[in-house]
A = this chain, B = another copy of it.
Amino acid sequence: MSTPGRGLHGQVLDTLGPAITAGEYPPGSVLRTDELAQQFEVSRSVMREAVRVLESMHLVESRRRVGVTVRPKYEWNVYDPQVIRWRLAGADRPQQLRSLTVLRSAIEPVAAGLAAKYATAEQCAALTECALGMVAHSRGHQLEGYLVHDMAFHRVILTASGNEMFARLGDVVAEVLAGRTHHEVMFEDPDPAAVTLHVQVAEAVREGDAVRAEELTREITVGALQELDILAP
């Protein structure tokens, strides 16, 4: 996935990024560029480029005479796909999964409502196809096939909303869905009710019924929240 080994500095980031996001270096920790360069056995120029990237993610701050200090978590660029991947791959995974699912519950219903208004004929067709694919793979342990169509479904919704910010969450949602299938406890077969909801959302979007599309999608996301025991008591 993503882009492994795009240069030495990228390989350094593959180690240093996860280490930082996992809290291995607590906030306020001070790193020295030269020392890191020695540890990773790369030249200072390569390490400097890596530090610049971490700096642009607000994971660290580089200051003269003091070094590279790790920033507190609340300053991180938590929407950076790379940061999200690092956190999902490490000890922070549960919290990351929860906050992303809450984010989904806010975004996706609104996106579905907008999709009902602005989706093109092609997008409606793609959506229906995805929903049918989900139905076709909803029984008999075809989890992988189901997942592919589920990811595609949500990606189309987010794209069809016409909002660039929503569209860019397609990868994130896909990663959450994939995580649920691969890492978390996944029931034998998907919940039939959820499958039906997806089909109905596709219908609502096709018919341009924004209110219904939003409401149905909200039911889907509520289901996702319940899976993680994030309830509304």
Asked whether, in the complex, the Cβ of B164 is within 8 Å of the Cβ of A52, the reply is no
Tell me the smallest distance from the CB of A231 to a CB of chain B, in Å.
11
19 A–B contact pairs at CB < 8 A?
A: A45-B48, A49-B52, A52-B53, A53-B56, A56-B80, A74-B167, A74-B168, A77-B79, A77-B168, A78-B164, A79-B79, A79-B80, A99-B163, A102-B166, A103-B107, A103-B163, A103-B165, A106-B106, A106-B111
Asked whether, in the complex, the Cβ of A105 is within 8 Å of the Cβ of B99, the reply is no
Decide: A102 near B9, CB < 8 A? Known: A56-B53, A56-B57, A80-B79: no
Decide: A163 near B102, CB < 8 A? Known: A52-B52, A56-B56, A82-B56: yes
- List the interface of chain A (C-beta within 8 A of B): 9, 45, 48-49, 52-53, 55-57, 73-74, 76-82, 95, 99-100, 102-103, 105-107, 109-111, 114, 163-168, 210, 232
Tell me the smallest distance from the CB of A219 to a CB of chain B, in Å.
15
Which of chain B's residues have a CB closer than 8 A to the CB of A114?
102
Which of chain B's residues have a CB closer than 8 A to the CB of A52?
9, 49, 52-53
Asked whether, in the complex, the Cβ of A165 is within 8 Å of the Cβ of B110, the reply is no
Which of chain B's residues have a CB closer than 8 A to the CB of A167?
74
Tell me the smallest distance from the CB of A44 to a CB of chain B, in Å.
10
Tell me the smallest distance from the CB of A51 to a CB of chain B, in Å.
9
Tell me the smallest distance from the CB of A82 to a CB of chain B, in Å.
7
Decide: A78 near B45, CB < 8 A? Known: A53-B52, A57-B56: no
Which of chain B's residues have a CB closer than 8 A to the CB of A77?
79-81, 168
